[in-house]
Structure 1
């Protein structure tokens, strides 16, 4: 058999195996989603749950949020691992992740399925630190849906936002290039640590929300109880966050997004969390409340007491900025007067 023909057959066999592996992974992820949806719902702060609109709608949004988080993260991580674990240099190799984009669920119509396909693609590109181009996104959803592109990308980016707290932004209008940008200025665009990975911003925003709703100071045991509902446990490595205790009590404290201190006169010692200086500077109670409202598929006013506190915080921030601006103007005027006197 000619060498070129044999090479093509081998490449074809590799592609077939890659698609088979991708389909198996998709089936496992789907099974995990169905199992979790049947047994649990998405975590929310206990205080927040008391302020949500009654019954049905809240429960439904929590279950949907939990399913979205599981689907998105399982897919993005398994795709990236598949690419990173493969050492093949064959130019004709098809990534298992690329095959996964095109797996269809017979129970869904095409337009419903497209945002999910785009989510997988966007997170894969983010994790691998690769540019997100409109032309590539159109290949994922299909040229026949180009007229629905704004609608599809809006749904996909909103679903990613409520899990990871990142915003889809156009960074180059000429190339029509986009990126997922962290809501906080965490190092490495939300990854916290160097290298590739998924954003940690969603975890930080949830913790800030918990602190806010616990009276701006949350006991460490309350934080871990809350994170346990997200299946994030101290001492157990998480596939997105790494070792959570180190991330929360060391990394985020060192970066000044959280303050971690011992409760006064506690014996045995107990600890509590507050917002750190960077969190106070880069976000606000209103922004965190808006994020939590999106997670719950509602609006900030659905949390009446917290909304009033957030409004008051906004007013105080405006007043503080005005005072600083007035003080700066006064300093400039005094300097000008001093210079004039010296002439």
Structure 2
């Protein structure tokens, strides 16, 4: 089914080390899968489509998308560029005519699910590099060969916080994340145990603050932007990204846009 599983020396070990990406994207043994929905979602948040599915009964096109995502993840780990010719030769050898659609969906998946942008650097040669979305460096080191990039979830969390008035209630965060199958205490095929990721790992790394809501009894908690998030990106950049992936008109969020522009001007 996939040329990625052929025993080429430069691809075999990393792909085998992480396991079949098709299983992680489409679901395996009843585990919920993660895959991007069309950009026309009416929600204020990017939503990742979730369903249980048997890869053997899926259409060839999504499987080719998964193969290309696996290839792009390998390139991201090894910090190597790629090209249209290379992708066609390795992933879509017999499906050249489907490249535009497969490539578009794979890029959307890389951005929404993993927080990785595929950027063209040479239009004449159609070469591309893979870089973290919004310049976030939380996935700078993926040394064990098994970790999946998690910046996509961080971008979503950072987008939710200003949308909730700069303090996102924990219950609201889990309500939104549960739509995409990310639930506190439940192991996720890409993000691991999300409660630890949100309330410990990213707090320790300085991306978010996790604090008790003042005077709440019983205690409730909320998320705020941390100093590292402010250092690496801005509300305006996150808002712009949110609007782009959801094809929203900036006029639909006037007060938030005005606040983001003000923050950007103050930081200039």
In the superposition, the TM-score normalised over structure 1's length comes to: 0.55
| SS of equivalent to 2:146 | coil
Match of 1:15 in 2: none
Q: Note if contact 1:263-1:270 (Cα within 8 Å) is conserved in structure 2.
A: yes
| SS of equivalent to 1:265 | coil
Residue among 197, 200, 220 paired with 2:150 = 200
Match of 2:258 in 1: 308
Residue among 142, 164, 171 paired with 2:93 = 142
Pair 1:189 & 2:140 matched: yes
Structure with the higher fraction of residues in helix conformation:
1
Q: In the superposition, relative to structure 1, how do residues 120 and 211 fare at CA in structure 2: closer, same or farther (>3 Å)? A: same
Match of 1:66 in 2: 48
Q: In the superposition, relative to structure 1, how do residues 158 and 300 fare at CA in structure 2: closer, same or farther (>3 Å)? A: farther
Q: In the superposition, relative to structure 1, how do residues 236 and 177 fare at CA in structure 2: closer, same or farther (>3 Å)? A: same
Cα distance in 2 for residues equivalent to 1:269 and 1:61: 27
TM superposition shift of 1:121:
2.6
Q: In the superposition, relative to structure 1, how do residues 232 and 141 fare at CA in structure 2: closer, same or farther (>3 Å)? A: same
| Structure 2 segments unaligned to the other structure (5+ residues) | 1-6, 8-19
Q: Note if contact 2:45-2:156 (Cα within 8 Å) is conserved in structure 1.
A: no
Match of 1:227 in 2: 177
Q: In the superposition, relative to structure 1, how do residues 145 and 61 fare at CA in structure 2: closer, same or farther (>3 Å)? A: farther
CA RMSD of aligned residues (A): 4.5
What is the aligned length? 240
What does 1:234-249 align with in structure 2 at a 5 Å threshold?
234-249=184-199
Q: Note if contact 1:162-1:294 (Cα within 8 Å) is conserved in structure 2.
A: no
| SS of equivalent to 2:185 | coil
Cα distance in 2 for residues equivalent to 1:312 and 1:62: 22
TM-superposition CA deviations, 1:272-317 (whole Å, max 9, x none):
1110001111111121112222332334343222222212222222
What does 1:1-343 align with in structure 2 at a 5 Å threshold?
29=27, 58-59=41-42, 66-67=48-49, 105=59, 117-126=67-76, 129=78, 131=80, 133-134=82-83, 135-139=85-89, 140-142=91-93, 145=96, 153=103, 156-169=106-119, 178-183=128-133, 184-189=135-140, 195-318=145-268
Cα distance in 2 for residues equivalent to 1:239 and 1:58: 23
| Structure 1 segments unaligned to the other structure (5+ residues) | 1-10, 12-21, 43-56, 76-99, 319-343
